[in-house]
Amino acid sequence: MTASTRDKGLTDTEVLTARQTSGWNELPAVTPVKPVVVFLRQFTSFLVVILIIAAGVALVLGEVIDAITIGLVVILNAVLGFVQEWKAETALTALRNMLAPMAMVLRDGQEKIIPAREIVPGDILVLAPGAKIAADAVVIRSAELTVDESVLTGESLPVAKSDGATTGEVFAGTSVTSGRAEARVTATGAHTEFGRIAHLTGSVGTGVTNLQSKLSGLARQLGIAALLVAATVAGLGIALGRDLVEMVMTGLSLSVAMVPEGLPAVVTITLALGATAMVRHKALARRLQAVETLGAASVICTDKTGTLTENKMTATLIWTADRSYDVTGTGYDPAGHIAFGGARVRAGDDPVLAAVLQAGLFCSHAQLRREGESWHMTGAPTEGALITLAYKGWCDLPDERGLLAEIPFSSARKRMSVLYLTGDGYCVLTKGAPEQILGICTEVMTGAGIRPLAPGDIEEITRAYTEMAGRGLRVIALARRRTDTPQIVEENLTFLGLVGLIDPPRAEVRSAIASARSAGIRVIMITGDSPVTAAAIAEQLSLTVTQALTGQELDALDEAALLETLSGDVLFARTRPEQKMRIVAALQSQNQIVAMTGDGVNDAPALKQADIGVSMGIRGTDVARDASDLVLLDDNFATIVRAIGEGRRQFANVRKFVRYLLSSNAGEVIALVVNIAIGGPLVFLATQILWMNLITDGVTAVALGLEKAEPDHMQHPPRDKTDAILGYRGIATIIVLGLYTGLSSLWIFFHLMDQGVDLARTTAFTGMVVFEKASVFAFRSLRLPGSRIGWFSNPFLLCALALTLGAQVLAIYWPPLQTLLRTVPIGLAEWQWIALFALPVLILPEAFKLLLMRGQRT
């Protein structure tokens, strides 16, 4: 390619040739998940498999109604899971398609705006402020180019670029903050640095959530136990000479009784309702279990730039030889003000302050404009902060026609100067690094006037900017010179003052971190920014830090030393994606449940490595969102704390209704086994067991899953990763309630046998339903009595009880259900027996929890 061709960019023929070699400028498309795949994976749960087998056995034995009933439960569970997961997938696709990136290139000597995916290696990108760089490239011509690489590196400050391969590399996904340039594309698509990190993200396998693991283990245990008990009882009955079909149906009844058929549907409904509630709180769960897993998080590893902070440079402090000023407000909204001693100050109140504001405002190319109710800045973040500062101080705006000349900022000079024609004549205004500005100043401006710059002044200024830098501020010095000639002379300037800038923390983050701390959750900052800046932000957020470790220092640690470091209050700075993954993996090796937040492509591998990845929906890159489990639709860190509370509520409710369902099933199993052991007729028929497990228990369990969070749920440390859903206390509760309800039903059954087996069975069947409904109050809270959580705080449960008890009345008095369930009407005496045995189920658990609570107080 000739030099003239290079200057004009590629021709159409060269573009086609390059595309045949390199392909389109896009990351390898993630194979879209087909709807049928999402639907079919709802049938992979062990409990669901058992239900499918039970339905098949019932169908083979001719029990069509039983088979259809179980099949409907399986289908309901699958539909609910599919709807929620597919909604999450399509919502993310909509986020990706909201913006089709475009880019300006030079081709055939003409500047053209084309879709970014059409760029090929060899293309010349035309870069201007605000442009998003569409491919990796090397700058070939530039004018004071700076690039925001925070999305790739986590560094909050723009990076200066110059011509050449050494210092002029620009990367896909980053954006131009100031200056102009032409850059030749060197890599596109998966071959870019952006693509390399995306590939790194893809190398991390998809993990199983904590709830999935526990439910799978519980399902396996229940399934194996159900099959063993059913086979043993059926085999024993056949060996004793009982009818083969009767014993097979008895075994099926036992297996159906032991396996809580409603559990998959109840879990899915509860998690789906929780996920829907989280969308109202601006959080999108990509998997149903995502919010529950976040509720179990013991550590939150969070990025700084754009996650804890606003990713908007803001002036917070002005220093002059006379005094220092505080500046309120964040970002580029000029609604804040400048204050001294608590009183608001404007440019007209202090000539030195007016000079500082004027220098920052005039010596800038950034623009601030209002669009509707919000303000938008175009240009370098530092200059945007200085312009916003001038607006807050009510500084007079410059006359653009007064700008006569400029010496732009460069990384070598570390300063910028402009020449303005004002009403007082020509004025040189300069801003830059304090040591550079101080070196060209011979005077200092004070409220009493301008005086020579003395050694004591230099020491004071040096001490001031050193102290500001130590607080994590980026310090800009400002100076000026009156002149009679229209020339920029950078010498003998008058020093005006210093401005301290920082990317400020989000307003809601401090309280969110405090809430996390009160819930026993550690927050660890992992950033690509400098350790000084990171420590300053941590201090402002009241995030305790005793050690700041850089990525280079992290590489020097072996695994044992890293684990020891992680036991303290540490933050990590200047980290690379691989290092973030290592930190997350080290925490996981300590049995921690790790949540990772972030928005940049540099966060994506760690997001996927973590137990729960939390990305930002507005600022987040596609790579970060695709790697995450939870997307914050409002980019609000405080939403994470709400999601933690929701996750804790979900797991607590899952634990409640699992124990409730199993205690109900335990009563049925005990009644059946004892009855068979003593040689009596079946106390419950298979259809009656299905009615209890699917219709009455299932509806009640769903309502129990809607129980509100307990008052103190965020004042307890996160549960241990190894905590079982049941636990010894849960198993004991299930056994005690199961023994009582099972033996009570059996006593009623045999007590009424003289009046006919159908009446006895119907009364025992109804009694078991009532006992199970009464026992639900014991599970509304596993620790607190009803008086503490509110007897009527869950109206859904009260409605479910009314509905299921009404359905049971129909089951024994409505002829169609009498035929289906083989029931007969029962009288007042039978109802009295049922009520008598139900009272202890209501009273004793509440009395026990009251005594337990009083014992804890003392």
Kindly state the tokens that stand for 15: 């573009």
Show the DSSP H helices in 678-793 as ranges.
686-690, 697-704, 727-751, 757-775, 786-789
Q: Please list, in sequence order, all residues whose beta carbon lies within 8 angstroms of the beta carbon of residue 763, skipping any fewer than 6 positions away.
A: 748, 749, 752, 826, 830, 833, 834
Determine whether 303 is an active site residue.
yes
Beta bridge partners of 805: none
- Could you give the CA distance from residue 767 to residue 432 in angstroms, rounded to a whole number? 84
Report pLDDT digits (tens) over 760-785.
Answer: 999 999 999 999 999 999 999 888 88
Count of residues making up the chain: 858
Report pLDDT digits (tens) over 189-217.
Answer: 888 887 776 665 554 444 555 566 666 67
As a whole number, mean pLDDT of residues 753-758 equals 94
Nearest Cα to Cα of residue 315 among 343, 291, 334:
334
pLDDT of residue 764: 97
Contact 757, 825 (CB under 8 A): no
Angle at 407 between CA 403 and CA 411, to 5 degrees: 140
Report pLDDT digits (tens) over 443-491.
Answer: 999 999 999 999 999 999 999 999 998 888 889 999 999 998 899 999 9
pLDDT of residue 623: 62
Comparing 13 with 210, the larger pLDDT belongs to 13
Contact 372, 340 (CB under 8 A): no
- Give the type of residue at 449: G
- Could you give the CA distance from residue 595 to residue 573 in angstroms, rounded to a whole number? 18
Does the pLDDT of residue 553 top 90, yes or no?
Answer: yes
Report pLDDT digits (tens) over 97-148.
Answer: 543 578 889 998 888 889 888 999 999 999 987 678 989 999 998 877 888 8
Does the pLDDT of residue 740 top 90, yes or no?
Answer: yes
As a whole number, mean pLDDT of residues 233-253 equals 73
Kindly state the tokens that stand for 855: 């014992």
Ramachandran region, residue 36 (left: φ > 0; alpha: ψ -120 to 50; beta: rest): alpha
What's the CA dihedral at 618, 619, 623, 629 to 10 degrees? -50
Kindly state the tokens that stand for 198: 């995306």
DSSP class of residue 528 equals S
- The residue annotated as part of the active site, out of 136, 303, 457, 626, is 303
Contact 134, 113 (CB under 8 A): no
- Give the type of residue at 568: G
- Could you give the CA distance from residue 734 to residue 659 in angstroms, rounded to a whole number? 7
Phi, psi of 318 (to 5 degrees): -120, 130
Nearest Cα to Cα of residue 681 among 370, 247, 297:
247
Percent with pLDDT over 90 in the chain: 36
Indicate the helix (H) or strand (E) that contains 643.
helix 637-677
